[in-house]
Chains A and B, each alone.
Chain A
């Protein structure tokens, strides 16, 4: 079975500062990795995903994440955040090539950007 740990439940930052949201996962098989964002009172939106290939993945809104297999991590980064990035961010994992594979989520990180 897979599991996901988001290491920070809340991350407060000032506008234009860099940010890193940390995610570690556990799995006995190879995985696909995802980051989702949820703005207040809205649905889930896919930020980026890692399926294979380059370990540095670029997503929407200037976010990127790096897959580190040896450390079983998939941290999300942005070099300069905006007020509009205030939202909840979820890291998720699914097992590779398994029938009926479910997406398993972390508990989320609330990013609060202030001026």
Chain B
């Protein structure tokens, strides 16, 4: 069974900390994505990557960066966490856009 695995299910961090959210897929997919989900706002695209070391900004990239050093791993980085980044973060991957596989999500709380 194909999988997208997010390293943490729940995470609590302090304001100003540098936070790393990790995502690993085992499907050899070219494209990987980071979304955040907030009530009433749906899922909003933060960043995506269509190849190793390639990245593109999504709709809400401010305050975030990403890293993709290997095809299977896509990391989301909060350079200096703030309380307005408290959210559910979802990673996804696809090949060709025919179907997307999502991780279970990381619920991040910044205090």
Q: Name the prevailing secondary structure of the B interface residues.
A: strand
Q: How large is the interface on B (under 10, 10 to 19, 20 to 34, 35 or more residues)?
A: 20 to 34
Are B56 and A44 touching (Cβ within 8 A)? no
Are B104 and A43 touching (Cβ within 8 A)? yes
Q: Chain A: which residue is nearest B90 at the CB level?
A: A44
Are B33 and A9 touching (Cβ within 8 A)? no
Q: Tell me how far the C-beta of B45 lies from the nearest C-beta in chain A, rounded to whole angstroms.
A: 5
Q: How large is the interface on A (under 10, 10 to 19, 20 to 34, 35 or more residues)?
A: 20 to 34
- Partner of A100 from the list B31, B41, B100, B104 (CB cut-off 8 Å) is B31
- Partner of A102 from the list B30, B33, B40 (CB cut-off 8 Å) is B33
Given known pairs A99-B50, A102-B58, the reply for A90 and B33 (CB within 8 Å) is no
Is B74 part of the contact surface with A, judged by Cβ < 8 Å? Answer: no
Question: Restricting to B45-91, which residues have a CB under 8 Å from any CB of A?
Answer: 45, 48-51, 54, 56, 58, 90
How far, in whole Å, are A105 and B41 apart by their CA atoms in the complex? 9
- Partner of B98 from the list A51, A102, A106, A108 (CB cut-off 8 Å) is A51
- Residues on A with beta carbons closer than 8 Å to the beta carbon of B45: 102-104
How far, in whole Å, are A64 and B33 apart by their CA atoms in the complex? 27
Are A105 and B43 touching (Cβ within 8 A)? yes
Q: Tell me how far the C-beta of A115 lies from the nearest C-beta in chain B, rounded to whole angstroms.
A: 25
Q: Chain A: which residue is nearest B104 at the CB level?
A: A43
How far, in whole Å, are A19 and B16 apart by their CA atoms in the complex? 46
Q: What are 5 sample pairs from A and B whose C-beta atoms fall under 8 A apart? A: A44-B90, A49-B99, A100-B51, A101-B97, A102-B45
Query: Using a CB–CB distance below 8 Å, which chain A residues touch chain B?
Result: 6, 9, 32, 34, 43-44, 46, 49, 51, 90, 92, 94-108
Query: Using a CB–CB distance below 8 Å, which chain B residues touch chain A?
Result: 30-31, 33, 35, 40-45, 48-51, 54, 56, 58, 90, 92, 94, 96-100, 102-105
